[in-house]
Amino acid sequence: MNANSRIDRPTDIAPFDFLRSGVVVTGGAVLLTGACDWFGTSLHPIWPLQWLIPIFPLVCAARYGWRSGFLVSFLGLLIGNLNQLTYLRDLIRLPTPILILAIAGPGLLLALAVGVWRRLVNRGLLVAGPVMFALVFVGIEWTFFLPTDGATQGLTAYAQVPFIPFLQVASLGGVPAMEFLLLFLPASLAVLAVPSADLGRRRIAAWIGVGITAAVVVLANLPMLFPYRGAVVKVAAAAADDPQDPIGAYLACRNELMKQGAKLIVFPEKIATVDPTQLAAWDKALGAPEAPTVVGLHVTRPRKLNLARVYEVSRIDTYVKQHLVPGLELGYEPGHEMLSEPLGQTAFGVEICRDMGYPSLSRQYPASDAMLAVPAWDFDVDGRWAEQIAMVRGVEIGASVVRAGRDGMVSITDSSGRVLCETPSGSTTPAIAIADVPTTSRWTFYKAFGHVPFLILAALLAVLDAALTLGPKLRKHA
């Protein structure tokens, strides 16, 4: 080759074609997934972003193979879940093994579900793929929670509470139903990216996913078409901390709320630490009120208890917190009894703070309990998140929630999850929420049947998937 010779270079290669490579696309998808998870599942989430999280790993799995899908799933959610690291480590004080599982576990679970989805859609099962994707994720996730009596505080579906139409799905199937649709719809849309299937079939599968999701949401919202027009009762929640004179502060606050017509008053969790003598002083000061008053107290002797004292006209009842915070409430004795109290022609149930993270507990209250009275103590930064968990419990069982959160949110919400009144607490001035709520609860499918229909459906779909997957192999070897 002489000096004057020239190497001909192809002229049909665009200068940015390298951006189409699997490595670059996978890296970009990791960042997008992490960003959506970071901002979509934080303590103050941007809820629409949560719907986008599964899209990126699914599309990458379809276009670039299972390794790409695994990396986007695991690394994306690992990055996004770091938004909770400080909260879980420093405030909740989770043990290190549980903390690692909380940060890294969801990514591994998503990667497994993505693998199942890819296997099915590549075999032409374009509807079964999204269904099994959602079932695998929700099913395995709930195997971790159900043995501990259904603790759900860490489930990201609570980010959807501001989306009121979608929140109503909780009245049909609780949090699992919400999570299922959050995964099923994106997985159905991701079918459009499967290169091995006919475009027409892909579009049909995507529209089926949209149609099923829309049908469930519309069904859940049918009761909203018939607004409640029956009797109401005025209730109030308040936080009025005064370290120098807590009895005087809350007594004055209660008297003011009764002047405003409140028939039920709820104060926060652990507003004072008391021994038996001091407890007697509280009972004397707040006893025999015109309006039932729920007060959270920390009792030190003879047993260490986190309890709610319910002061009625002629008696004093006690509810003991059943689900204690690991680490922070070490040495406390948990309660085991529910407490339902009459309120004129209606009734209310009592739970304390973390108890609201357990759907099975709220479902134990009878349908006659039109509301839940909830003393609580938040960590300030998680006040909104804790309030949203309580709102979901109300939607699940068709009850209003009167929640007094110390260092968080004081709020009253109805059985549809709509906020009737709320205000932040933690300042030197009293935080007060007062509103009228219905005197009857709303019937819900979830209250009546719990998770049973969802579990039966999951089992049937799992059997169907196995038949569709193994059937051809069995016939081939027959």
337-393 confidence digits (pLDDT tens): 999 999 988 999 999 999 999 998 999 999 889 999 999 999 999 999 999 999 999
Where residue 412 falls (left for φ over 0; alpha for ψ -120 to 50; beta otherwise) is beta
pLDDT tier, 476 (very low <50, low <70, confident <90, very high otherwise): low
Q: Give the pair of three-digit tokens for residue 271.
A: 């507003």
- Indicate the range of 48-52, 68-72, 148-152, 324-328 predicted with least confidence: 148-152
Average pLDDT over residues 322-336: 89
Which helix (DSSP H) or strand (DSSP E) does residue 22 occupy? helix 22-40
* Rounded-to-integer distance, Cα 374 and Cα 319, Å: 11
**Tokens 């709303």, residue located:** 442
Residues listed for the chain? 478
Q: Give the pair of three-digit tokens for residue 252.
A: 């004055």
DSSP code of residue 87:
I
Identify which of 40, 44, 37, 39 has the alpha carbon closest to the alpha carbon of residue 384.
44
DSSP code of residue 325:
P
Which residues are paired to 369 by β-bridges? 347
- Whether the full predicted model's pTM is greater than 0.75, yes or no, is yes
Q: Can you state the percent helix, strand and coil of the chain, rounding each to 5?
A: 55, 15, 30
* Rounded-to-integer distance, Cα 272 and Cα 296, Å: 8
- The strand pair at 305-311 and 369-377 is best described as unpaired
Average pLDDT score, the chain: 89
